Structure 1
Amino acid sequence: MKTKSSIILLLVLSTGVFAQKKSELIAEIDNLKSKISEVEQELAKAKREISSSNAKAETLETENIGLRDANTTLLGNLSNFSELSKQNSENVNRAMAALARKEKQLSGINDMISANDSTAIVSLTRIKQTLGENANVNVAEGGIVISNKLDDLFGSDTSTKLTEAGKAWLVNVAKVIKSNPSFRTQVEGLNITGEFGTTFDQAAAVAKELVGVLQIPSDQINISVKDGNFKEGINIRLQPDYKGFYAKAKESAKAAQ
């Protein structure tokens, strides 16, 4: 009986110890599960952080690439702007140089025009001395105009034959023409009736007297007729040599280039 009791006690004790060990193991397992859960949570958190960091890194890399591209573009634009600015500066310099040349050309032409005007004014004074202070002499359109009435030249407005007074007047006109060889001479008939035939014959008679009698070169004299606008008579128009003037102006323009 004592032996059975000992065995039973041993079994009871063994069962108690085993139950205690089992309880401890279960507690240990629960503890390990809890730690594993914590580790898994930490691992998940770490993965999320790593994923977030990778996303941020990718974003930063993309932004960095964008910044590099923008910087490259900016540098290219600055280079283009610098080149454009240089070209604009060169264009401005060329424009200023061209303007200076034009101003020089215009200055030369203005000087020649002033010289022609001065020549006309000086010639006017000399012509009045030759023809007399009462002579009808004016400066118009850069030239000198010597005028006379038909009655004084032909005795009437229909005659085409010069009077002695008219011939004497032309003698002094010829002196004026010869003393101004650089001027072209235009014999201009003025008519108020519209019948230009007689007016042309009168202008031709004056030109014939100047060329045939007073020895003015024929290539220096031209004839024209026009409406006198309520005035009739003969104008002897002395004009500067515009052909020569423009030739000089052209040479002046070339020299200024």
Structure 2
Amino acid sequence: MKKLLLPIVLLFVATSAFAQRKSDLIAEIDDLKSKMAEVEQELAKAKREISSSSAKAEALEVENVGLRDANATLLGNLSNFSELSKQNSNNVNRAMEALARKEKQLSGINDMISANDSTAIVSLTRIKQTLGENANVSVAEGTIVISSSLSNLFGSDTSSELTETGKEWLTNVSKVIKSNPNFKTEVEGLNITGEFGPTYDQVATVSKELVGTLGVPGESIIISAKDGNFKEGVNIKLQPNYKAFYAKAKESAKAAQ
């Protein structure tokens, strides 16, 4: 019995020791599994963070490419704007230069017009001194108009023979014409009947007296007959030489370019 008891005790002890060792191993395995689960969780978290970081990096790269493209476009637009601004500035400068030339041309023409007007006004004063303060003289658009009635010149509205008073008046008018050689002279007859034959005879008589008797240059005189619109008489018109005026204006315009 004693011989059997010892092996039984040893077997019990061995069994107990084995059971304890197995329990410890199971506990250690459980602990390792727990740690492995934690490691796997950390690994999964790290993978997610890496994936998120990679996505952010790709997004930043795309955004960076977009920013580079936008920056290149902006620089191109700025360059184009600078070139366009330079062109506009050049265009404005050319326009201002052209405007300055036009103003200079207009200034020269205005000065010539003012000179003509001033000449007409000065001539008007001298004409009144020659013909007398009661003379019928006016200025219209730079043209000096000296008027006389048919009765004063011819004694009636149908006659074409000058009276002594008419001859005396034309003598003074000839002095005015000769003292203003830069003016063209028009002898204008006005009637209210519409019959221009007698009127042409009258202005022809006046022109003949001025040229043939009083020595006025014939090339500077023209004659005309018009409807007087309820007025009749003879007008001696002294007007600027527009052909010479425009020739001079053209020269002034060319000089200003």
| CA deviation map 1:136-157 (0-9, x unaligned) | 2222220211111111212211
Query: What SS does the aligned partner of 1:102 have?
Result: helix
Paired residues for 1:69-88 under 5 Å: 69-88=69-88
Aligned partner of 1:112 in structure 2 is 112
In the alignment, does 2:217 pair up with 1:210? no
Q: Look up the match of 2:27.
A: 27
- Correspondence for 1:238: 238
Matches within 5 A, 1:69-218: 69-218=69-218
Higher deviation after alignment, 82-91 or 115-124? 82-91
List 4+ stretches of structure 1 deviating above 6 A.
none
After TM superposition, give the deviation of residue 11 of structure 1 in Å.
2.5
Q: What TM-score does the superposition give when structure 2 sets the normalisation length?
A: 0.89
- The count of aligned residue pairs is 257
Provide, for residues 168-225 of structure 1, a one-character-per-residue CA deviation record: whole Å limited to 9, x for no partner: 3323322322222111111111122333333233223322333344443433222223
The aligned amino acid for 1:14 is: A
Distance 1:9 1:253 in 2: 142
Output the CA distance in 2 between the equivalents of 1:77 and 1:151. Answer: 85
Separation of aligned partners in 2, 1:191 and 1:120: 27
Give the equivalent residue in structure 2 for 1:224. 224
Deviation at 1:160, TM superposition (A): 2.7
RMSD of equivalent CA atoms: 2.1
Partner of residue 40, structure 1: 40
SS at match of 1:137: strand
2:36 maps to a residue whose letter is: I
Q: Secondary structure at the match of 2:33?
A: helix
> Deviation digits for residues 87-136 of structure 1, max 9, x if unmatched?
33333322332232222222212221221122222222332333333322
**Within 2, Cα distance between the matches of 1:195 and 1:101?**
52
Distance 1:196 1:213 in 2: 25
CA distance in 1, matches of 2:197, 2:5: 179
Aligned-residue sequence identity (percent) comes to: 79
Query: In the alignment, which residue of structure 1 is the partner of 2:58?
Result: 58
Which segment is superposed worse, 177-186 or 197-206?
Answer: 197-206
Bigger shift: 24-33 or 208-217? 208-217
Offset of 1:249 from its aligned partner? 1.2
Unaligned stretches of 5+ in structure 2? none
Residues of 2 paired with 1:78 and 1:88: CA distance?
A: 15
Please, what TM-score do these two structures have when normalized by structure 1?
0.89
Give SS of 2:158's match. coil
Offset from partner CA, 1:19-58 (integer Å, 9 cap, x none): 2222122111111111110000000100111111112212
Q: Distance in 1 between matches of 2:3 and 2:199?
A: 182
The letter of the residue matching 1:11 is L
Alpha-carbon distance in 2 for matches of 1:186, 1:15: 158
Structure 1 Cα separation of the partners of residues 208 and 8 of structure 2: 178
Q: Could you tell which deviates more after superposition, 15-24 or 168-177?
A: 168-177
What is the deviation of 1:240?
0.7
User: Does the residue aligned with 2:239 lie in a helix, a strand or coil?
Assistant: strand
- Tell me which amino acid in the other structure corresponds to 1:63: E
